[in-house]
Structure 1
Amino acid sequence: MKTLTVLSVCALLSVCMSMNLSFGLDVDSKRFSGTPANHVLLKRDVAARLLRRRRAGANAADLSPQQLESLREVCEVNLGCEHMAESAGIIAAYTAYYGPIPY
């Protein structure tokens, strides 16, 4: 959800920049006023956070409550997975019994 929000804001920002709508802010004083922006520059750490892929060893902070609940529902069917989830956590239990998390 956070990624979708950030990408939406970036898209809106790029549309505004291409239409030269700076809303009173001096975004780029060196650029000519008549030329549209054809790219957006991001700092390296911001771009890395936007494009980061989930690793197989994802932790609970990376998953939304809905995703965690769906993992719990899958583990409820298997008694061994359910017991492991109570002791080691849902991420470890799901990964041990069903493999990598699909999202």
Structure 2
Amino acid sequence: MKTLAILLLCSLAVICLTSDAGSQPAGDNNAQEGVFVGQEQASTVVRQKRAPGELSITQLESLREVCEANLACEHMMDTDGIIAAYTAHYGPIPY
């Protein structure tokens, strides 16, 4: 049974490697034109990164929960604020 499974996987690998379905001719640029968009359209689709002071209440609460697990971070959170404490102990804010 193991021999049959190995033989099947090897034959699939050979078919995938020898197949011409994934390759494109060098002169075919029309297929790639649909992939690229203008800067104005991309800026409307892509989410803009927020400034550090614009975190929502939910985001601040999740940072607070992470920081409460570390006593040093929790103490710094009480004195310097949640953003400064999280950044000092865990690095940049992920959102």
Higher relative contact order (CA 8 A, sep 6+): 1
TM-score with structure 1 setting the length: 0.45
| Higher alpha-carbon Rg | 2
TM-score with structure 2 setting the length: 0.49
